[in-house]
């Protein structure tokens, strides 16, 4: 058992590499350590673990618990120190296949030791949740008090782009938009801006995290539709029509997140993006950038960053992630920081 850590960060399975990047930016006070388990990180140092509730790649954070090789229910029970708490529930779930043990049996046995310690239970609306993750990718078990929503609890399906009043097929799925915002903005202050906001998916996810958010689009139809979606999502977001290559953006921009409205990768499209970003850097020289681009499928790696030859004027590429969409389309998410200007 590794006891020299503050918490275990438990990732969702849709893209662990992006989930790790999101966790690094959302818990910057802690040093994060990868483990043999595909979707479990160990955090050294305290952070505000409630940020897990804002993340798309994080199931939860487990605090006050442990992380060790799976041996048996008996060994797990011996490793847990129960304390008295009122209104608790015990939740056990699996990662990456099945360790040969019943999750219900684990919940039953752990519930028993907490009951013996004087705890009371509320399975419908618990005040405290004790989580146990069986990770078959490396045969580990992690446990602790849960901060965050847990597995399958976010309800991304209710926020899908096709549920909005104004929809276009190229819209980003909400969990990717949320991850992009978190990776870009982290816990920084200042505006999140999308200079080509389209239907507003990035703006909605930024607004739901309560960040100051601003969107711009040149197409009046898109602006009108975006405002419909913003109203539907009930978020406080500023949207305007304008030319992003000349618009006077706010000076206090911490993050630029953009999913450009093109798929042909033509020189004119690339020049438009370049001109937009150059204009933004005139106003905010310290803003980070996440740009999401369409690419041919086959470059995806859900566990690691991928290499890219992409060049972005004024920015240094820090990381790139391949994202599967369907058999004829993939996406490339690129994270970049402004180049330092040498006097």
Q: Confidence class of residue 146 from pLDDT cuts 50, 70 and 90?
A: very high
In this predicted structure, what is the pLDDT of residue 28?
A: 98
Find how far residue 66's CA is from the centre of its chain.
24
* Euclidean distance between CA atoms 102 and 108, whole angstroms: 10
* Euclidean distance between CA atoms 110 and 132, whole angstroms: 10
The pTM (predicted TM-score) of the whole model is 0.94
Look-up of token digits 């995806």: 300
In this predicted structure, what is the pLDDT of residue 341?
A: 47
Mean pLDDT of 51-68: 97
Q: Cβ–Cβ contacts within 10 Å for residue 331, how many?
A: 20
Strand ordering across the sheet containing 140-147: 31-34, 40-44, 7-11, 58-69, 140-147, 128-135, 88-95
Q: Residue 196 pLDDT > 50, yes or no? A: yes
The tokens for 309 are: 């030859």
Q: Cβ–Cβ contacts within 10 Å for residue 107, how many?
A: 18
Read off the pLDDT of residues 295-314 as tens digits, 9 standing for 90 and up: 988 888 999 999 999 999 99
In this predicted structure, what is the pLDDT of residue 343?
A: 35
Percent of the chain with pLDDT over 90: 84
The tokens for 257 are: 């997140």
Going along the chain from its start, the domains and CATH numbers come out as 7-147 (3.30.2130.30), 156-338 (3.40.50.150)
């Amino acid at each position: 058992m590794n006891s020299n850590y503050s918490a275990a960060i438990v990732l969702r399975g849709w893209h662990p590499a992006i989930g790790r990047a999101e966790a690094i930016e959302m818990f910057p006070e802690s040093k994060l350590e990868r483990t043999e388990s595909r979707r479990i990180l160990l955090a050294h140092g305290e952070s505000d673990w409630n940020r897990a509730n804002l993340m798309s790649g994080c199931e939860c954070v487990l605090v006050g618990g442990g992380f060790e090789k799976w041996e048996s229910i008996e060994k797990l029970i011996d490793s847990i120190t129960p304390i008295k708490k009122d209104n608790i529930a015990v939740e056990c779930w699996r990662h990456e296949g099945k360790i040969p043990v019943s999750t219900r049996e684990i919940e039953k046995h752990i519930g028993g030791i907490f009951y013996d310690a004087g705890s009371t239970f509320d399975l419908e609306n618990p005040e405290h949740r004790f989580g146990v993750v069986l990770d078959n990718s490396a045969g580990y078990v992690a446990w602790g008090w849960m901060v965050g929503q847990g597995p399958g609890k976010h309800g991304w399906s209710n926020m899908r782009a096709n549920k909005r009043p104004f929809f276009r097929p190229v819209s980003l799925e909400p969990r990717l938009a949320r991850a992009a915002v978190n990776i870009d903005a982290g816990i920084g202050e200042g505006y999140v801006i999308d200079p080509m906001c389209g239907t507003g998916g990035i703006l909605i996810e930024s607004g739901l995290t309560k960040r100051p958010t601003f969107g711009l689009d040149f197409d009046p139809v898109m602006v009108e539709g975006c405002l419909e979606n913003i109203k539907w999502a009930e978020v406080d977001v500023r949207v305007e029509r304008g030319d992003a290559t000349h618009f006077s953006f706010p000076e206090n921009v911490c993050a630029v997140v953009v999913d450009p409205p093109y798929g042909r990768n033509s020189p004119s499209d690339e020049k438009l993006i370049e001109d937009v970003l150059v204009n933004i850097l005139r106003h905010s020289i310290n803003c980070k950038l996440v740009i999401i681009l369409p690419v041919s499928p086959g470059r995806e790696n859900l566990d690691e960053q991928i290499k890219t030859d992409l060049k972005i004027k004024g920015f240094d590429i820090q990381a790139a992630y391949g994202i599967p969409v369907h058999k004829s389309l993939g996406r490339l998410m690129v994270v970049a920081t402004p180049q330092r200007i040498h006097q």
